[in-house]
Amino acid sequence: MTGKSFNAFDVLAFHREVGADIALEDAPVDRFKGNVPNVETLAPPDAAVSVTTRARAPLSTFKLQPQASVTSVAPDDAAMAAREMTKQAKSLDELREMLARFDGCVLKKTAKNLVFADGNPRAKVMFVGEAPGAEEDRDGLPFVGRSGKLLDRMMAAIGLDRDSAYIANIVPWRPPGNRTPTPQESAICLPFIQRQIELVDPDILVCLGGPSVQTLLRVTDGITKVRGRWFDYDTGTRKIRALATFHPAYLLRNPIAKRHSWRDFIALKKALAGLKV
């Protein structure tokens, strides 16, 4: 048998390309031996959950306890529990602590760090992206990689920085391989970012990228159709002006679109200038 030989670096590069870039355990596990545990055995003893029937789990399953298993509950149950929990958060510190102990999202199992937010929580403008990347997961801060550096330059062009803006993501844990979060994962984390927006209470909300726009503003059109448009984001107590624009990561892949984002940021600058002091 002839063909190209592969070394260890080629194998590592292949795994990185397919998104297998995170080690979940300290030692390798041979999955071909047949001793893989049944998922039903992973459920906590007091959780009356059937994996095959997807029966509803009581909210008590989601108490902030380390033994709660994310494999034992349906996504809509996790989202319901998140909504109930976030109602109790009276400050950003409480919300962050609550999110750090929340076990309802499977992404927490593969992420290294919780990526909560960065910037000034008293800022008039809040930027919300999609999910952390590898650099963000390593540092525990949003937008610190290549797209973050681009966002910093875009903000600086209109007189903003991380002392005058607040930055967060829909999903606070990095998806493996930097993939797009699933709609279920976004739905589970949605109550947390909604409560975060309520507590920050900005005058302007900037949604970076399609997933952020669709999740927060509940629009179905793609980002290329809605970017540059203003929407009303309703917190339940007030309406916040919300601007849809491209995610910096998209601009890195499509530099020609930077001209559109520049127009959006000029509109943002004018809107900020028109706010009452």
* 113-157 confidence digits (pLDDT tens): 999 999 999 999 999 999 999 999 999 999 999 999 999 999 999
Phi, psi of 206 (to 5 degrees): -110, 115
Phi, psi of 167 (to 5 degrees): -130, 135
Instruction: Please tell me which of 30-34, 64-68, 79-83 the model is most confident about, judged by mean pLDDT.
Output: 79-83
Total residue length of the chain:
277
* pLDDT of residue 167 exceeding 50: yes
pLDDT at 51: 32
Confidence of residue 75 (pLDDT cuts 50, 70, 90): confident
User: C-alpha distances in angstroms, 143 versus 50, 62, 156, 221?
Assistant: 39, 30, 14, 25
Closest C-alpha to 151, from 241, 16, 261: 261
Confidence of residue 76 (pLDDT cuts 50, 70, 90): confident
Query: d(Cα 135, Cα 16) in Å, to the nearest integer?
Result: 15
pLDDT at 277: 47
Strand partners, 127: 167, 206
Long-range contacts of range 232-238, CB-CB < 8 Å, 24 or more positions apart? 233/197, 233/205, 235/194, 235/197, 235/198, 235/201, 236/198, 237/198, 238/201
Query: d(Cα 246, Cα 252) in Å, to the nearest integer?
Result: 10
Regarding the domain with residue range 68-273, which homologous superfamily does it belong to in the CATH classification? Uracil-DNA glycosylase-like domain (3.40.470.10)
Confidence of residue 39 (pLDDT cuts 50, 70, 90): very low
Mean pLDDT along residues 249-256: 97
Q: Where are the domains of the chain?
A: 68-273
Distant-in-sequence, close-in-space partners of 72: CB < 8 Å, separation ≥ 6: 42, 43, 44, 47, 49, 51, 57, 61
* pLDDT of residue 67 exceeding 90: no
User: C-alpha distances in angstroms, 112 versus 63, 138, 139, 234?
Assistant: 22, 7, 9, 33
Whether the Cβ atoms of residue 224 and residue 136 lie closer than 8 Å to each other: no
pLDDT digits (tens, 9 = 90+) for 16-26: 554 566 665 55
Mean pLDDT along residues 166-191: 95
Distant-in-sequence, close-in-space partners of 76: CB < 8 Å, separation ≥ 6: 187
pLDDT at 65: 41
Top-confidence residue, 267 or 9? 267
Strand partners, 231: 242
What is the percent of the chain with per-residue pLDDT over 70, rounded to a whole number? 73
pLDDT at 10: 62
The pTM of this model reads 0.76
Distant-in-sequence, close-in-space partners of 7: CB < 8 Å, separation ≥ 6: none
Query: d(Cα 170, Cα 271) in Å, to the nearest integer?
Result: 24
**What is the distance of C-alpha 54 from the center of its chain?**
25
* pLDDT of residue 43 exceeding 90: no
